[in-house]
Amino acid sequence: MDRVLFGDNQFFGVNHMSEEKARSQAMRFQEISAVIEVLDDAYAEGIRTFMCTTHERMTEVCDYFRTHQEKYPDYQFYPCMPYAHKYANAAAELGVLGAVRSFLPTDDAFGALLKGGMSLARKDVEGLVNLLIEAEMKMFAGLTTPVIFLQNVATDFLLGLGFDEAFRMFDTCVRERYQAEPGFITMNAPLLLRTLEKIGIRNPIICANINKIGFRMCGGMDAYAELMSQGKCRLVAMSVFASGALPPREALEYVCHYPHIESIVFGASSRRNIAQTKQLIEQLTAA
């Protein structure tokens, strides 16, 4: 994985500290052209990986990159699925089964729906999981996706249920169908690592909040410090600035202190901030 990854929260009005800033960003990025402009800025600064949710509007972004692949020959996407809000909205409108069916692949709509229904009837969860992953990945067809993440809303829900086998299903599908590496986003990295090791998934890619003040780091700072020192997983640090609560240098000095943090993902809306953050990560990594 690249050392520096670019995230997408700013494009879809996500800010964990300021609703006002979130609304402002949502207004700014109503047009996909504004999103592409920032991605171009990140690309010009040498960032080649976009870690993004499977939000409906990402379809337009993917269409643009497919159309202009000659301009971005080394660009790659790290899809993060599922985007929970679209499932919640569909469930409210269509019911749970209707929502699931609405997101199944449409190449052969009747067959896909029937297969999904049969999976539910037989409790063939793995078959249904594979269908839903296929549906989420359809927008990325023809693009490079070397790592595919399970979003924290799903990861932590499965952890809470104790449905550990679902992680193996995701791991198998991503590796066999997409020849990619599975990644897992979580709010409790220590617990997730223990769970993945228990079912035989070794050295997994885990993306989690990692910051100096413990912002949204479930499990405790001591457990995270141990995790970051062991080297038993490939860590991707997110929320390193604690949604603006930490100055950039102080925040990145803390994260870059741990050599087992392989990558850092951040979002920004201006080329100036993108450039400053990337340069600071590189300087502190080399120090």
What pLDDT is stored for residue 128 in this prediction?
Answer: 75
- The phi, psi pair for 17, rounded to 5°, reads -115, -25
Neighbour count for residue 33 (Cβ, 10 Å):
10
| Stated pTM of the model | 0.87
Q: Identity (one letter) of the amino acid at 18? A: S
Model confidence pLDDT, tens digit, residues 116-166: 454 444 456 787 788 889 989 999 999 999 999 999 999 999 999 999 999
Model confidence pLDDT, tens digit, residues 225-248: 999 999 999 999 999 999 889 999
Angle between helices 165-178 and 125-137 (to 10 degrees): 50
What's the sign of the alpha-carbon dihedral 214, 219, 224, 225?
positive
Residue 80: name the closest of 5, 24, 177 by CA. 5
Which domains, ranges and CATH numbers included, belong to the chain? 4-82+144-286 (3.20.20.100), 83-142 (no CATH)
Model confidence pLDDT, tens digit, residues 41-83: 999 999 999 999 999 899 999 999 999 999 999 999 999 998 7
Whose structure tokens read 């023809």? Answer: 142
What pLDDT is stored for residue 110 in this prediction?
Answer: 41
